[in-house]
Amino acid sequence: MARMNRVRAVAVILMLLSAAILLTAGCTHRDPPVVVKLASDERSEFVGNLACAECHASEFKAHHGSRHDRSLQAATRAELGSLTPAMGVVPLAGYAMAERSGVLTLERQGLEAGKVERQPLQLVLGSGKLGMTFVTLVDDNTLMETRMSFFPPYKLWDLTPGQEIKVPGDAPFGRAHSGQEAHNCLGCHATTVPSRLLQLAPRFYGVGCEACHGAGAAHIEAMRAKKYSEPHMANLAAETPTQINDLCGKCHRTARDVDLQSPEVNLTHRFQPYALQRSACRTKSDEPLSCLNCHNAHADVSTDLKAYEKACLNCHAALGAAAPTRVDPTSRQARVCPVNKISGCVGCHMRPKPAFTLTTIPAKMADHLISIEKK
């Protein structure tokens, strides 16, 4: 029974792994990392997911409606459906959620008697698998991120990551972000962000195909003209694990984005590419693991523990062991676990850590440092 409960707990943790993209650490300033060079960064060259479906039907089907696909949504009941928070007072926020003509709105008592201040909401950061932060685009260069975020699995409101402590300039409804900060914030929830935020088109809501593969207009034109030797798109299948991790790290963060002199250094469950860079799987091998060793980038995070164990046993199975214990007999041999040679890898070596230590949200995430617990 204890083993069954542990397996169930680990499965729940794995379901929450992709939530790191939803609410990683609020909209904080980060310098754009060095990533895989993509075909084009011209916003006019982006075409949207539907244009990819013509040739890449299976990938489109897997991605459509996924957590990445829904990581940016319109702040309407029609869009959010059952994820819509209940109307009424938001605990500890000093304001309430209301619906006015189909628009979700924050309301608070104004300084003048009888006057109500209202803040219409436009967008939601996060798919709702773990959390959702509401956003208003103030102007072409500024957005306002609500102080409280809603966590649908728990039907709870709690502080938005990054806003645990109020700072000078915070507005009653939340915190404003301008310039590069605002673009970084939306950039990890949208396929592409125009220089003028108010021009963000709905077809680019969510992390779509072109967020990783690059702008698709020139590629589609070349393929339709049968210019297969000039694809005008990065071949991600040919990239090294380091390059893949850098690409994922644009949002999930690499060591370049983590303040190593702050508590962030220990957030190896929140910032997975950064954790993989520090893990023995990288430091003791010729090339590190990439995110794609375990995850299908086109689909939601799997909850199949056996699939993850196969990835581990690709290197850590006994020599000569037959599949499925040893998936690839030609892969580099690594140390075989002395405790359990065939299962239990995730629960022991990717031990769960609280996702949001400064909130009441009980969610946990698997530690991607992939380590041996110190006694």
Same domain, 330 and 258: yes
pLDDT of the residue at 292: 93
Q: List, in order, residues 6 or more apart from 103 with CB less than 8 Å away.
A: 75, 76, 120, 121
Distances (CA, A) of 362 to 12, 154, 317: 12, 9, 34
Q: 372 lies in a domain?
A: no
Q: 42 lies in a domain?
A: no
pLDDT of the residue at 12: 42
For residue 311, the surrounding DSSP H or E stretch is: helix 305-316
Residues 284, 289: Cα–Cα separation, whole Å: 11
**Pairing relationship of beta strands 174-178 and 142-146 according to DSSP bridges:** antiparallel
Same domain, 83 and 198: yes
Same domain, 361 and 314: yes
Place of tokens 């990938």: 59
Number of domains in the chain: 2
pLDDT of the residue at 101: 87
pLDDT of the residue at 317: 76
> Per the structure block, which two tokens stand in for 29?
């300033």
Per the omega criterion (within 30 degrees of 0), is the bond before 172 cis?
no
> Per the structure block, which two tokens stand in for 189?
């929830």
Same domain, 185 and 272: no
Phi-psi region of 205 (alpha: psi -120 to 50; beta: other; left: phi over 0): beta
Tally: H helices and E strands in the chain = 12, 13
pLDDT of the residue at 24: 43
pLDDT at position 262 over 80 = yes
Same domain, 196 and 115: yes
Per the omega criterion (within 30 degrees of 0), is the bond before 354 cis?
no
HSE (side-chain half, CA atoms, 13 Å) at 292: 16
Residues 340, 19: Cα–Cα separation, whole Å: 29
For residue 213, the surrounding DSSP H or E stretch is: helix 209-213
Q: CB of 253 within 8 A of CB of 267? A: no
pLDDT of the residue at 280: 86
Same domain, 75 and 203: yes
* 290-330 residue pLDDT tens: 899 999 999 999 989 899 998 888 888 765 554 444 444 44
Q: 226 lies in a domain?
A: no
Q: 252 lies in a domain?
A: yes
Same domain, 145 and 22: no
Q: 251 lies in a domain?
A: yes
If you average pLDDT over residues 186-205, what whole number do you get?
94
pLDDT of the residue at 357: 83
Q: 32 lies in a domain?
A: no
Same domain, 247 and 199: no
Q: 92 lies in a domain?
A: yes
Q: Dihedral through CA 217, CA 221, CA 222, CA 225, nearest 10?
A: 170
> Per the structure block, which two tokens stand in for 342?
């065939």
The pair phi, psi for residue 206, each rounded to 5°, is 90, 160
* 149-186 residue pLDDT tens: 999 999 999 999 889 888 999 999 999 999 999 999 99
* 72-130 residue pLDDT tens: 999 999 999 999 999 999 998 999 999 998 899 999 987 777 789 999 999 999 999 99
Same domain, 81 and 174: yes
| Domain that residue 318 falls in | 2-27+237-366
Q: 343 lies in a domain?
A: yes
* 210-246 residue pLDDT tens: 999 999 999 999 999 999 999 999 899 999 999 999 9
Instruction: Point out the domain boundary residue: 152, 185, 207.
Output: 207
Q: Whole-number mean pLDDT of the chain?
A: 84
| In 101-201, beta strands by DSSP E | 103-109, 116-120, 123-125, 133-139, 142-146, 148-151, 156-159, 174-178
Same domain, 262 and 193: no
Same domain, 260 and 192: no
Same domain, 77 and 169: yes
pLDDT of the residue at 31: 39
pLDDT of the residue at 9: 45
Place of tokens 């991607």: 368
